[in-house]
Amino acid sequence: MNLETGARFAGYRVLRMIGQGGMGQVYLVEHPHLGRLEALKLIAVDHGDPQFEERFTREARTAAALKHPGIVTIYHYGIEERTPWFTMDFVDGADLASGQHLTSAEVGVVIARAAEALDYAHHHDVVHRDVKPANIMVTRAEDSTALDRVVLLDFGIARLMSGARLTATSAFIGTFRYAAPEVLEGVSATDRADQYSLASTAFELLTGGRHSPPSTRVRWSRRS
C-alpha cells in the first residue's frame, strides 16, 4: 500500500514518505487531534492467518509498554484496510545503515547506549530478535555535530513476521548477517542472540567488514 501526500490513513494526515523497505513503508504523519508529528509504519504482510491480528496486537502492546530513552515510543496501532500499522515517535535522524560516518569513539557511544536499551528490554523479558544497523537510529545535536539520541527501532517485528507471510520476499534479506548461529539453526532467540547481533553490528561499524562465521553461513546459504 502506498499513501499519497495529504491522504488520510486511520485519521492521520500523511505528510510524506520517509522510508521504505522489505517490511513496508514509513510515513511522516500528523496526529489528527494533537498536531504532533509521528512516524507511521505500514507492515507489508498478507495476514490471511486468522490468528495474525491477535499476534499483532500482542506484539504491539509489548513494544508500546517499553519506556526507555533508547527505545522508540509506540503510540497507537491497528489494522486498516487489511494493513497492520502503528505510529511511533518521529526520530529525525539517520539509521546506521545509511552510510553516515562515525568515529571509533562515536561507535563506542552508540553501541553502549544500544546495549543499555537492550538490557532494559531484556529485564522486561522482551527480546528484539532483529538488531542490526538499519534498526538503530542516531540523531545529532542541532547546535553541533555531537551525537544526541541513539534509538532502537522495530521491537517485536521480527517475532511477528516469523508467523506471517510477507508480501515482499526480501524483507529479511541481509538480516542473517547479524544473527546468532543458534538462531540460524532454528533455535528461538534469547537475550544472548541480541547481544551477538549487537556485537556483529559493532564489528561492521568499526572495521567496515561484515562478521560472517563461515561454517554457519555456508549451511544457511545451502538452505536458501
Active site residues: 130
Question: Distance (Å, rounded) from C-alpha 38 to C-alpha 32?
Answer: 11
DSSP symbols for 93-122: SEETTS-----HHHHHHHHHHHHHHHHHHH
User: What are the residues facing 74 on neighbouring strands?
Assistant: 88
List the grid coordinates of 201: 553490528
Q: How many CB atoms lie within 10 A of CB 106?
A: 18
Q: State the Cα–Cα distance between residues 164 and 222, nearest whole angstrom.
A: 23
3-state secondary structure of 21: strand
Cα 139 from Cα 96, distance rounded (Å): 11
123: left (phi over 0), alpha (psi -120 to 50) or beta: alpha
Q: Provide φ and ψ at 170, rounded to 5°.
A: -90, 10
Which among 86, 89, 34 is positioned nearest to 67, based on CA atoms?
Answer: 89
